[in-house]
Amino acid sequence: MTEAALRGMDASASPPDQATAVAAIKVSKSFGGVRALRTASFAARAGEVHALVGENGAGKSTLIKLLGGRLPPDSGTIERAGQPLRLAGPADAAAHGIGTVFQELTLLPWLTVAENLLIGREPRSGLGLIRRARLAPQAEAMLAGLGIHHIDPRALAADISLAERQIIEIVRVLIRQPRVLLLDEPTSSLVEREVEWLFARIRELAAQGSAVVFTSHRWKEIASIAGRITIFRNGAEVGTFTGIDEAEAITLMTGQHVATLYPARAPIPSGASPALELTDASVNGGARISLALAAGEILGVGGLAGQGHRELFLGLFGAPPLRHGSIRIGGKPARIASPADAIHASLGIALVPEDRKSEGLLLPLPVRDNLTLPILSHLSRLGVIRGAVERRMSREMIQRLGIRTPSAAQPVGALSGGNQQKVLVGRWLLAESRILLLYDVTRGVDIATKHEIYELMMRLAAEGKAILFYSSDTEELAQLCHRVLVLRDGRIAAELTPPALTAEAIVAAALHDADSDNAAIRGATGDDAARGAAGDNEARDAVHDEATRGAVGGNITARGADGGGTMRGAGGDSVAMRGARTRGTHAE
Amino acid sequence: MPSDLAIRPHAGPAAARCRPPIAHALGQNAGLILAAVILLLCIAGFAAMFWLQQQRLPGNFEITSTVNNTMPLALAAVGQSIVVLTRGIDLSVGGVIDLTNALAAIWLTGSVLHMAGVSVLIVLIGAVAGLFNGLLVGLGRLQPIVVTLATLSIFQGLAIRVLPQPGGAVPPGYTDVLVNPNQPTALVFLVIAVAGWMALRRSRLGVGIFAIGNDESSAVALGVNAMRTKIAAYMIGGALYALAGLFLAANATAGDATTGDGYTLSSIVAVVLGGVNLFGGRGSAVGAICGAFITTMIVNILFFSHINPLYQSFYEGLFLVIAVVFGALIGRLVRGRR
C-alpha cells in the first residue's frame, strides 16, 4: 500500500470525540539547533490504550516529556480534559492526574525501594514526621497488591536489577491511579512475563477509564495492546491509525518502502587470512575457548546472558585483558594489555559497546571530536591539530555513514541513539581499525536504524573488515552472521553455520543445560495456579532474559525470502520462541 | 493474563533479594557502623595509652575536656554533612565560625536574658550567612565549591573587622552552661543535635536533601524543590557553624577572629571519616559526629605518644588516608559490588 493510501486511513479524522483525556496541540520543542517537535499534535481519549510509534529521534520521547510536565513546550499547548495546562513539573502533572514513566529511570539509587516508592507520600506520625519503620511494610503491601513478590522493598534501588527498577518505576506511577498514564518504552528492559504483567495493569487502568499512552519498538506489543496508533516522523505526527499492520507502519515511520530488514550476506573472500586468532583463553572461570575470525567475516557470538560474552569482548579490547591464552592478529602474536594496545594501528581492534553513553562517547563534545579522538596524534603537526584536515575527515565520515546531525559541531549527546552508535562506528573507521568488536550495538535502536546498521556491517565486511558480533537478538545473529559461536558457561557450546544457522538452533544450543535451572525456578515459586498457564513461560524466561530478548519479545523479524520483496512481520510466534516452548514442555 | 510476577526471571546476585531486614540495615549503614567501630578503637587505644602513662583509666576530667573540645567540630561536622548530602560542599565553615566567635566575644555580656537573646541572634546570623551561600548555589546555580570559597574569605574579613585583636570576655556563667568544665554536660547538646538530625531525616526537607543528593533531576521530577532544599541545607549548616562559634567562645572564654579557620578542612575530614559520601545522597550526621570525635581522639593519642607536635598533621593525614581506604574496602565487601 502506498503511503498516500495509508494516510487515507487516518483515524484521527473520525468524528470528534467528547472524552479527550490529554492532548498536545501544535507543540514545538527544540534542543540547541535540533528541532525535536515541529508543530506536532496528539490526543488520547479516556479509556483507550494509544501507542506512539516512530523511529528514534522522531519526537516520541519529547512529546511524552511535554505531556508529563518534564519539559515546557516552546510553543503550542498541552490540554487535559479540554482545559489548557501550564505544567510546572511532573509533580504538577501528577496533581492533574497525569502519571509518567519516563524513559530515563528516576529512581534514587541510594534510597531503598520502599523510600523510592513512597517518596512524597510517606506514612507520617502525629507530629508530621515520617514513620520510617512503616515504609518497608507499606511498600511490601503495595507491591503485593500489584502482584509483585520478588522485589525486596528494603533493598537499595542501586542493588536491584534493571528490570526490577523499571517495574518499581511503573509501580510508583500506578499506585497513584493516574487518569492519564504515559509510558515511554516501559518494556525495553522487561522480559515477556513482566510485559504481560504490565499489560494486564494497563488493561485494568484503561477499563477504569484512564487514557494510556505508550511507546515501544516491538510491534508485537503494540499490536497486542494498542487500540489506536499514532505514528511520528521527523518531529511531527504522520497520522493516527487503527488496525494497520507492521509493514504499513514501517512505511509510514520511515517514509520509504523498506524491502527487507536483513541485507544479504556477502560471501567471505576465499582464502581470506585469519584476522584474529584466539587460543585457549578463559573468559568465565575454568573452561578455555579458541576462535578464529577471518577478514571479511561476520562471526556471531550468541548464548544466554552472563555466559562470558562481555568478558570475551572486553578482553579482546584489553579492558581488562583476558586471562590465559594467546592472541594472534593477522597471523602474528599480539599482546593486548590495555585498550591503547588494542586501538594501536599495528593491531587495529575497535570495540563498539552496548552502553555507548558510559563506555564510548563523550556526550557534551561535538560529533567531530568524538570521531577523531583516537587519531588526533596523526592529525596533529607539532602537537597542534590540523583543523582543516580534521573537519574534512569528519565531514566525509558523517556523509559516508549517513549520520543525521545538523553539523559536525553538534554535541553527540543531542543526537538520537542510532546516530550516536554510528558516530562510534565512524570513529573506528577513521582509525582504520581492521577488527571490529560489535557488542549488542542494536539494543534499543529503532527498526529503520537497525536496518542501516545491518547494511553498514555488510558493507564493512565486504571491504574486508573482520567483525565479531554479539547480539541479544538471536534472529539478528542468525540472519547476519556467516558463523555463530554459542557460549555457555564460558566455553563454546556449539558452532553453527548455514543452513544449520537458525535462531532456533542458537536458542537450543544456548539452552541445553538450562533445564535444571528451570526446575529450580519452579520449585522456588510453588505457585500452582500460575504454573499451568506459565509452563512455557518459565523455560522461555530463562532463555529469554537477554539472550533472545529481541526474537521472543516480538521484535520485528522479517526475511526477504518469505515476503516476496515486501516487509513481513513474523506475527505470532517466532521460530526462536517455538524452540524455547518445546524445551519448556520437556522440562515439565 | 498473569496478575502475579511470582518468579524471578532475572539472573543476578540473589543475595540482594532474600536477605533479612537486619542484613539490609547493616549493609546500608556500613559507613556509619564503620565510623562507630573506628571511634571505639580510638577510644580503646587512647585508654590503653593513658593507662601506660598514668597507670589509671581516663576519668571525668579527660572525658569532660574531650567532649568540650570536640563540641565545636561535632556541630560543624553535622552542618557540613547536611550540605554534603545535597551533593554540595561548604568551605565557608571557618569564616562563619570566625565571624560568630568574634561577635560572641563582644556581645556576650550582661543579664542571662541578654546573653540568651544575643546567642539566638548569633545563630540567626549564621543562618543568614548560610542563606547567602544557599541563594548563590540554589538560585544562582553556581558551583558550591566556588561560592563557599568566596564567602569563606568574605566572612573571615568581616570577622577581622568585628574583632581585630583576640579579646573580649565571655562570662563564666555562659561557659558553665555550654561547656561545663567539671562535668561532661555538653553531651546534652550532642543528644539534642542527634535528635534534631533524626527529626530532619523524617521530614519532607530531609527526604529532599537525600533525594537531590542522589540525583537532582530525578528528585525534581519527583516533586522536590531543589532550590529551596539547597537553601535550607546551607542555612541549617550556617546556624550549626554559628553554634560551633559560640561553643568555641565559651570554651576559650574569649574570642578570636581566626579561631575557626581550621574548621573548614577538619569538618570535611570528620564528614569523610563519618562515612558520608562526598558525592551526596548517602550518609548520616551521626557518622559525622563520630568522625569529629575520631579526629579528637587521634590528637589525644598522638599527644600521649609524645609525638612531636610539629608532625601532628602528618600523622593525622596518614590516619585519614588509612581510614578512607579501609572504609572503601569494607564498603565494597559488605555490598558485594565491584
Q: Which residue has the higher pLDDT, B297 or A306?
A: B297
**Contact state of A109 with B215 under an 8 Å Cβ cutoff:** yes
Query: For A483-493, what is each residue's pLDDT tens digit?
Result: 999 988 778 88
Instruction: Specify whether A533 is located in the same domain as A504.
Output: yes
pLDDT band at B267 (very low <50, low <70, confident <90, very high): very high
- Pair A7, A241: CB distance under 8 Å: no
Chain A's closest residue to B10, CA to CA, is A545
Query: Nearest CA to CA, how far is A178 from chain B (Å)?
Result: 15
Best of A105, A161, A204 to substitute, by most chain B Cβ atoms within 10 angstroms, is A161
Instruction: Specify whether A499 is located in the same domain as A560.
Output: yes
**Contact state of B16 with A160 under an 8 Å Cβ cutoff:** yes
- Pair A68, A102: CB distance under 8 Å: yes
- Pair A37, A217: CB distance under 8 Å: no
Among the partner-chain residues B1, B214, B277, the one whose CB lies closest to the CB of A108 is B214
Chain B's closest residue to A307, CA to CA, is B11
**Contact state of A155 with B199 under an 8 Å Cβ cutoff:** no
pLDDT band at B11 (very low <50, low <70, confident <90, very high): very low
In a domain, A135, yes or no: yes
Q: Which residues of B touch A527 (CB under 8 A)?
A: 4, 6-7
pLDDT band at A528 (very low <50, low <70, confident <90, very high): very low
Cβ of residue A131 closer than 8 Å to a chain B Cβ:
yes
Q: Which residue has the higher pLDDT, B59 or A261?
A: B59
The domain boundary, picked from A162, A177, A192, lies at A177
Query: For B148-202, what is each residue's pLDDT tens digit?
Result: 999 999 999 999 999 999 988 899 999 999 998 889 999 999 999 999 999 999 9
Query: For A103-142, what is each residue's pLDDT tens digit?
Result: 888 899 999 999 999 998 899 998 889 999 999 999 999 9
Instruction: Specify whether A559 is located in the same domain as A536.
Output: yes
- Chain A window 540-569: which residues touch B at a Cβ cutoff of 8 Å? 541-542, 544-545
Chain A's closest residue to B5, CA to CA, is A148
**Contact state of A150 with B223 under an 8 Å Cβ cutoff:** no
pLDDT score recorded for residue A268:
79
Give dist(CA A117, CA A170) in Å, integer: 10
Strands, sheet with A349-352, edge to edge from the N-terminal-most edge strand: A349-352, A435-439, A466-470, A298-302, A483-488, A491-496
Best of B3, B5, B198, B279 to substitute, by most chain A Cβ atoms within 10 angstroms, is B5
HEC profile of A470-532: ECCCHHHHHHHCCEEEEEECCEEEEEECCCCCCHHHHHHHHHCCCHHHHHHHHHHHCCHHHHH
Give dist(CA B283, CA B275) in Å, integer: 6
Give dist(CA A433, CA A122) in Å, integer: 55
Instruction: Specify whether A474 is located in the same domain as A512.
Output: yes
pLDDT score recorded for residue A444:
67
CA distances from A181 to A205, A241, A460, B6, B288 (A): 9, 20, 43, 24, 43
Q: Backbone phi, then psi, for A447, in 5-degree steps?
A: -65, -40
pLDDT score recorded for residue B239:
98
Query: Nearest CA to CA, how far is B280 from chain A (Å)?
Result: 10
- Pair A188, A23: CB distance under 8 Å: no
The domain boundary, picked from A117, A147, A177, lies at A177
Task: Give the pLDDT mean for B314-328.
Answer: 81
The domain boundary, picked from A254, A271, A291, lies at A254
Domain carrying residue A244 = 3-97+178-254
Instruction: Specify whether A198 is located in the same domain as A58.
Output: yes
pLDDT score recorded for residue A440:
84
Domain count, chain A: 3
In a domain, A114, yes or no: yes
- Pair A74, A228: CB distance under 8 Å: no
The ipTM (two decimal places) reads: 0.88
C-alpha cell at A444: 534499543
Give dist(CA B270, CA B204) in Å, integer: 26
Best of B1, B10, B279 to substitute, by most chain A Cβ atoms within 10 angstroms, is B10
Q: Which residue has the higher pLDDT, A288 or B8?
A: A288
- CATH number for position A45: 3.40.50.300
pLDDT score recorded for residue A2:
57
pLDDT score recorded for residue A331:
86
Query: For A226-248, what is each residue's pLDDT tens digit?
Result: 999 999 988 899 999 998 887 78
**Contact state of B2 with A541 under an 8 Å Cβ cutoff:** no
CB pairs under 8 A between A and B: 150
CB neighbours of residue A76 within 10 Å: 16
Instruction: Specify whether A72 is located in the same domain as A157.
Output: no
Using the CB atoms, write b or e for A501-513: b if 16+ within 10 Å. Answer: bbbbbbbbbbbee
Q: Which residues of A touch B16 (CB under 8 A)?
A: 152, 155, 159-160
Of the ranges A158-172, A425-439, A572-586, which is most confident?
Answer: A158-172
| Closest-CA residue to A583 (of A534, A518, A526, A533) | A518
Handedness of CA A224, A227, A228, A232 (dihedral sign): negative
Q: Which residues of A touch B211 (CB under 8 A)?
A: 108, 111, 119
Q: Which residue has the higher pLDDT, B295 or A572?
A: B295
Query: Nearest CA to CA, how far is A491 from chain B (Å)?
Result: 18
Instruction: Specify whether A86 is located in the same domain as A226.
Output: yes
Give dist(CA A277, CA A548) in Å, integer: 27
Measure the CA dihedral A242/A247/A251/A256, to 10°. Answer: -170
Instruction: Specify whether A35 is located in the same domain as A135.
Output: no
Average pLDDT value for chain A: 79
C-alpha cell at A497: 553455520
In a domain, A501, yes or no: yes
Among the partner-chain residues A119, A154, A163, the one whose CB lies closest to the CB of B10 is A163
CA distances from B331 to A540, B26, B272, B284, B325 (A): 37, 11, 13, 15, 10
Instruction: Specify whether A87 is located in the same domain as A190.
Output: yes
Instruction: Specify whether A187 is located in the same domain as A161.
Output: no
Q: Looking at chain B, list the stretches that DSSP marks H as alpha helix, in order from N- to C-terminal side.
A: 21-28, 30-54, 60-85, 93-107, 112-134, 144-162, 172-179, 187-201, 204-214, 216-221, 226-252, 263-273, 285-304, 312-335
Q: Which residues of B touch A155 (CB under 8 A)?
A: 16-17, 19, 24
- Pair B28, A162: CB distance under 8 Å: no
Among the partner-chain residues A94, A150, A196, the one whose CB lies closest to the CB of B2 is A196
Task: Give the pLDDT mean for A560-570.
Answer: 34
pLDDT higher than 60, residue A54: yes
For the whole model, what pTM was predicted? 0.74
Query: For B215-235, what is each residue's pLDDT tens digit?
Result: 998 998 888 999 999 999 999
Give dist(CA A37, CA A28) in Å, integer: 5
Give dist(CA B207, CA B184) in Å, integer: 33
Instruction: Specify whether A80 is located in the same domain as A129.
Output: no
CB neighbours of residue A35 within 10 Å: 18
pLDDT score recorded for residue A554:
33
Task: Give the pLDDT mean for B52-72.
Answer: 92
In a domain, A392, yes or no: no
pLDDT higher than 70, residue B119: yes
Domain boundaries, chain B: 38-43+67-331
Q: Backbone phi, then psi, for A99, in 5-degree steps?
A: -115, 135
Chain B's closest residue to A519, CA to CA, is B7
**Contact state of B17 with A150 under an 8 Å Cβ cutoff:** yes
Instruction: Specify whether A455 is located in the same domain as A580.
Output: yes
C-alpha cell at A299: 562471526
